[in-house]
Structures are given as C-alpha cells and as structure tokens.
Structure 1
Amino acid sequence: MITGIGLDIVELGRIRRLDGRSAKFRERVLTDRELAEYELLSDSRKTEYLAGRFAAKEAFGKAKGTGIGKFCSFKDIEIRKDPSGKPSVFFHEQPDGLVSITHTKEYAAAQILLQS
C-alpha cells in the first residue's frame, strides 16, 4: 500500500550559487557518505548531484508528511546508489522507499514513493 508520495523541483542555478558561496549548504544537506561521493565529481556534475539530493530529500519530507525539520532532517535521509546506479532512499540508515531523480540543463527534480 502506498503511504506517501513526494515531489520536488529545484533550479540548478540556485544550487550552484548557494554551493559557490561556501561549503555550509552542502554540509547541511549531504551526509558524510554523500559528501565523499560529491568530492569525486566534476564541477558541473557536483551541482547536479547536490541539486538532485536536495530535491530528493525535500520530496521525502513531503512524502513522510513532516517536511524537513525537527522530525526529519537532511542528515537523516541518505540517497544511495546500487552497483548499477539505481538510487534508493534510506531514513535513519534503513531503506525507506523508492526514489527517482532527473536533471535537465536548468532543473533537478525528484519523486519519492513510500510503501508499507
């Protein structure tokens, strides 16, 4: 049974500006594992990666019904890839739903589906 659906879209330019000012934004949004992956990417790919993770985590908060805040922080949510590159969402280190992330030249979007 579907228990929640979340969708979010973000402008790549906005994420690029926030990330370019300082590392604080990415350090607030990404987990340690995600930060390690981020550091291995090219500059253009870093923006897509960060924007996609941000959108996915915002979508997850919407699907949970809590939003991002006291009960569900960015650091509580982690997007991991399996060996083929398929993303999965983990909440408090536990698998917790399906995720799809996409990018265009100007936007990143993500959708989350939670099931029981």
Structure 2
Amino acid sequence: MIKGIGLDIVELPRLKNIITRTPRFVNKVLTMREYEIYQSLKPHRQLEFLGGRFAAKEAYAKALGTGIGEHCRLHDIEIIANDLGAPVLYFCNELTSDFISITHTEKYAAAQVIILV
C-alpha cells in the first residue's frame, strides 16, 4: 500500500545561477558523503548531481507529507548509489525501503519518491 508519493523538478540553469551567487548553497543541500561524490565530478556533472539530489530531497519530503522544514531537513535526507548505481534513500542516517528515481536532461533534473506502508 502506498503511504506517500513525491515528485519534484529543478531547472538546472536557475540552480547554476543560485550556486554562482551563493556558493554555500551546495553545502546546505548535500550531506558530507554526497559532497564528497559531488567534488569528484566534472563541473557539468556536478550541476546534474546537485539538481538531482535537491529534487530527490524535495520529493521525499513531499512524500512524507511534511515538506522541508522542522520535521524534515535537507541534511536528514541522503541519497547514495548502491553497488549497481541505483540511488537509495537514507533518512536520519537509516536506510529506507522507499523507492526513488532521479533523472536529468540538459535543462532539468527531476525525482520521484514512493513510500510504501
């Protein structure tokens, strides 16, 4: 049974402008482990990675029904690839069994999360 569904999309050119004006935005979004992966990527892949993670975290918060805020902060949510490269979700350092899909194009990054009961 589905408990929650979340979907979010990010405009990558807009995100690039935010990073240019406020470089610390990257650290507001990414956990330490995510940031290490981000640092290892080429600049254009960094933008896709950040956009995908931001969209995924927003989608997860929507699926929870809380949104980003007091009960669910950006650093509470972590998305790390498993051994096959598929993204998996951690919430408050606990691996979840929730489903996540992240995609991106030249202009957009999007994510969908499904939480089952």
Aligned counterparts of 1:58 and 1:39: Cα–Cα separation in 2: 22
TM-score by length of 1: 0.96
Q: Distance in 2 between matches of 1:9 and 1:54?
A: 9
Residue 70 of structure 1, CA deviation: 0.5
Gaps of 5+ in 2: none
Instruction: Report what 1:106 is aligned to.
Output: 107
**Displacement, 1:36?**
0.5
Query: Over the residues paired in the alignment, what is the CA RMSD in angstroms?
Result: 0.8
Q: After TM superposition, where is structure 1 displaced by more than 4 Å over at least 4 residues in a row? A: none
Tell me the secondary structure at the aligned position of residue 66 of structure 2.
Answer: coil
Partner in structure 1 of residue 5 of structure 2? 5
Residue 24 of structure 1: CA displacement?
A: 1.3
TM-score by structure 2 length?
0.95
2:85 corresponds in structure 1 to 85
Gaps of 5+ in 1: none
Alpha-carbon distance between aligned partners in 1 of 2:28 and 2:71, rounded to the nearest angstrom: 15
Distance 2:10 2:22 in 1: 19
Whichever residue aligns with residue 88 of structure 1, its letter is V
Q: Relative to structure 2, which stretch is displaced further, 17-26 or 4-13? A: 17-26
How many equivalent residue pairs?
116
CA distance in 2, matches of 1:47, 1:56: 14
- Separation in structure 1 between the aligned mates of residue 24 and residue 63 of structure 2, nearest angstrom: 26
SS of the residue 2:115 aligns to: strand
Deviates more, 1:67-76 or 1:21-30: 21-30
Kindly state the Cα deviation for residue 45 of structure 1 after the two structures are TM-superposed: 0.2
Identity of aligned residues (%): 49
